[in-house]
Each structure stands twice: as structure tokens, then as C-alpha cells.
Amino acid sequence: MSLIVQKYGGTSVASVAHIESVADKVARFRARGHDIVVVVSAMAGETNRLAALAHEVMAQPTPREMDVLLAAGEQVTIALLCMALERRGHGARSFTGGQIRILTDDSHTRARIREVDCSRVRDQLGQGNVVVVAGFQGVTEQGSITTLGRGGSDTTAVALAAALAADECQIYTDVKGVYTTDPRIVDGARLLHHVTFEEMLELASLGAKVLQIRAVEFAGKYKVPLRVLSTFEEGPGTLITLEEQEMEKPTIAGVAFERNEAKLTVKGVPDQPGIAYKVIGPVSEQGIEVDVIVQNAAADGSNDISFTVKRDDAERSLRILEQVAPSLPAQSVHLDTKIAKVSLVGVGMRSHAGIASRMFQALARENINIQIITTSEIKISVVIEEKYMELAVRSLHGAFDLQNHENGQ
Ligand code: ADP
Ligand code: ASP
Ligand code: MG
């Protein structure tokens, strides 16, 4: 008998009818003799609805209260799913994150899991019950409710699977697994049967929201067998694997994209040591995450520095830069919210030259201007104008022939 942790995302529990079919699915696994821990998200749209209510009351809702509010979404789903299981004759018990002590730090709205206490879960499994846990939430040492950031139910599931040493962690969602790119953007996106942790980590951090990045980090660190698969269609989905297990890999695993960034540019600062620090320092000291950075020195001894931040942090970053501008001194400060980042990811880049130039050629063919380029060992990212994002993703997918590769399987 094996222990499986299953996570069902928002669209998989979007209505009572959906919850009923999740209950049928869980019941089938029970019937095969598996112990099951289910993690569920809030019903589709619910987290957004709750967040919008908060913003009606307060422009910048208090993070602590925001967490109390948002965590309520998942609490609805656990209760309904347990009822549906009980009606089918299965013992089932629901728990909030706090009840099973998913202990987190106190960074409200983006808390990190520190520890998971499995004793109540094990106890319930021992009694033959299905355990249903509210995703996306935890509790601090002091007893305050926290949430784990958008998409955080994935991380709850992986953390539970790690703590319980589960045989597999299955992330059920509304697509058949991890694709070469978002199948909603590119018709020819191909389902990957395997993807390495390393690649998945890059894809998730560069915008592929099919898995929350922390879930992938956790799974890699604790070697949790992790699979992404469809709630609605049968199939093996995508297994996230260690690289060593891979046979021959294609050069590129996939294309990721991110709209949720903004670009700030500080123009005409002096070209001298310490200037990048004087520009970026005050922004990151306010807890704002700075992503890609580029600096251009002009012949006249002045510099332009551009960098990107999350779109939610854009206005705040602009205000910080406007404050420090006179002391730099800077000629001007600009904010551009209409940008997007498109990235190519693949472990095969390590051993293949010429990927970057092929990428730039594909974008040039579409007349797409590249504003910023960054690379690391297994990824190349470009920042472009937002309106060209989908075109860029499609043309890169085509240029690297991602729809046709056999992916070494
Ligand atoms: P859930 O509510 O189940 O957590 P999400 O909406 O968070 O689902 O994640 C699934 C979505 O991720 C898909 O519907 C798809 O649009 C998107 N997505 C983005 N990139 C990829 C990718 N490379 N492979 C699969 N899905 C992707
Ligand atoms: N309900 C939360 C969200 O929408 C968590 C999740 O679904 O993973 O982000
Ligand atoms: Mg999700």
C-alpha cells in the first residue's frame, strides 16, 4: 500500500459538480488501497474575489488581515470535499493549515514553510480516513494565519509529501502536465513526459505558473517524486526528474513568459564606481525584489541603468528612485509597465553553442525589439514590449521546433 499526496487546483474544484468528481477520483484511489492526503485550493476565482473585497476596504490591505481573509477560500473547499467523500461512504477529515501546524515564518502573504507536524495526519490515516488539507496556508509560532503566495497550494502539497515521505506527490490541474510552453498561448505546445528539477525551477521562476516555484524547490531538496497531471483527462502527465535519470535531452525544454513585471530606467547618472549600488540599493532595501538589470555607458561619461521589478512594486520603486534622483544626480527617472519577459530554458544549453543567436534571429524576423537580455547557464531571457509577447513565444517555439522534438523519450 502506498501513500499519495494529491493536490487539486482551483479550476479542478470550481463548482460543487467539480468537487463531486474530485471525490469520485479520490474514492477510486482509495478503492485501490492507497492512503490519500488531498490538498485543495480555493474554488476558481475565489482568492481573487476575496482580494478584491479587501481592496474595496483598503488600498493597501494590512498583510496580517489579508491572510485571514484569503485563507478562508481554501477552508470552504476542504469542508465540501470531505462531505462529498463521506456521502460516498469514505471516512474523511478536513484540516486547515493551522490545525495540522504547517508552521511558517511571519512574512504575511508570502510566508515560507518552516516545519510540518504530521502527527494528526498520520493518526487520521491510521484510522482509515482520507485527510483533506487546505492548501496555501500555515500558521506562525504565535498562532497567526499566514498564506504562502499565489499558487501556494502546490507548495503545501509538496511539503506534506516530503514530511510524510509519500510515495508520490500528484499535482492535478486543468492541463495534461507541463508543456513546452503554456498550451493556452501556443496550440502546438507539446506535453513533456519528463522535465528535470533544474529546468522546472527555471520555468516556474520565469513565469510558467503550472507549479509554484517553492514547490519545485522543496521537491528538489527533499527528493519528492513529483508529477503534474490533468484532473479531467487520464494520462501519465509530467514527471519531474533528477537530471541523472534523463536519457538524451533536447537542447531546449521550453519557453516561459512573464507579464507581471515593469521596467524602471534611471537616465544620465554619472559613470563612476558605486553608481549601480546607489540606484539599486535603496529599492532592494525596501524589500523589493529586483530582477534583470542593464547598464549602458554613453560616450559622454554618463550612464543609463534599467531594471525590472514585479508590477505590484513598480509605483513604489518609482517613488524611491524619484527621491534618490537628485543625490545621484540623475537626469530623469522613467517607469514602463508595458513590458514582458520571455525566456528559453534547457539544460542542453550547456553543451550547445549558438542558442542565443538563434533566439535573437527569431525575434528579429518578427521585428521585435529586445530591450534587455540576461543569461544564465540554462536560460536566456529577453525583455520586450508587452504587446509582442505572444508573438515572441510562438516564434521561439517554432524556431526551436519544440512542437516536434521527441524529448528523448
Ligand atoms: P491550478 O489552479 O490547478 O493550480 P494554475 O492556473 O495555477 O492551475 O496552473 C495551470 C496553468 O498553468 C495552465 O492552465 C496553463 O495555462 C499554465 N501554464 C503556463 N505555462 C505552462 C506550461 N509550460 N505547461 C503547462 N501549463 C502552463
Ligand atoms: N488559492 C490560492 C491562489 O489562487 C492558492 C492556490 O490556488 O494554489 O493563489
Ligand atoms: Mg496553481
Which pLDDT score is estimated for 409?
Answer: 33
Q: Do 204 and 329 have their domain in common?
A: no
Q: Give me the pLDDT at residue 408, please.
A: 37
Grid cell locating 38: 488531498
Residue 377 Cα to ligand 3 middle (Å): 27
Please check whether residues 96 and 230 belong to one and the same domain: yes
pLDDT at 296 (0 to 100): 87
> Would you say residue 260 lies in a domain?
yes
- Say if residue 38 is in the same domain as residue 17: yes
Q: How many CA atoms, within 13 angstroms, populate the side-chain half-sphere of residue 376?
A: 12
> What residues does the ion ligand 3 have nearby, CB within 5 Å?
9, 151
Instruction: Please give the angle made by the CA atoms of 220, 259 and 312, to the nearest 5 degrees.
Output: 90
Tell which atom from ligand 1 comes closest to the C-alpha of 185.
16
How many C-beta atoms surround the C-beta of residue 388 within 10 A? 17
Q: Note whether 19 and 140 are same-domain residues.
A: yes
Whether 94 maps to a domain, the answer reads yes
* Same-domain check for residues 220 and 308: no
47 found inside a domain: yes
Q: Is residue 408 domain-resident? A: no
pLDDT at position 248 is 57
Query: What's the domain count of the chain?
Result: 2
| Same-domain pairing of 234 and 360 | no
Q: What is the pLDDT of residue 353?
A: 82
- Give me ligand 2 centre to Cα 358, in Å: 37
> For the chain (length 409 residues), average pLDDT per consecutive 10?
95 98 97 96 98 96 97 98 98 97 96 96 97 98 97 98 97 98 96 94 96 96 97 96 65 94 95 92 94 87 93 95 94 96 93 90 97 93 97 97 66
Residue type, 386: E
**Prediction pTM value:** 0.94
pLDDT given at position 245: 53
State whether 189 and 319 are in the same domain: no
Listing DSSP states for 99-132 in one string gives TTTEEE-S-TTS--EEEE--HHHHHHHHTTPEEE
Q: Are residues 292 and 181 in the same domain?
A: no
Residues ≥6 apart with Cβ < 8 Å to 232: 12, 174
> Does residue 220 belong to any structural domain of this protein?
yes
* Domain membership of residue 201 as a residue range: 3-241
Question: Which ligand 2 atom sits closest to the C-alpha of 48?
Answer: 4
- HSE-up of residue 220 (Cα within 13 Å, Cβ side): 17
| CATH code where residue 44 lies | 3.40.1160.10
* Ligand number, closest to the Cα atom of 209: 1
Of 47, 156, 158, which is best to mutate to test ligand 2, by the most ligand atoms within 8 angstroms of its C-beta? 47
* 375 C-alpha to ligand 2 centroid (Å): 30
**Which of the 8 DSSP states describes residue 206?**
T
**Domain membership flag for residue 407:** no
pLDDT at 352: 83
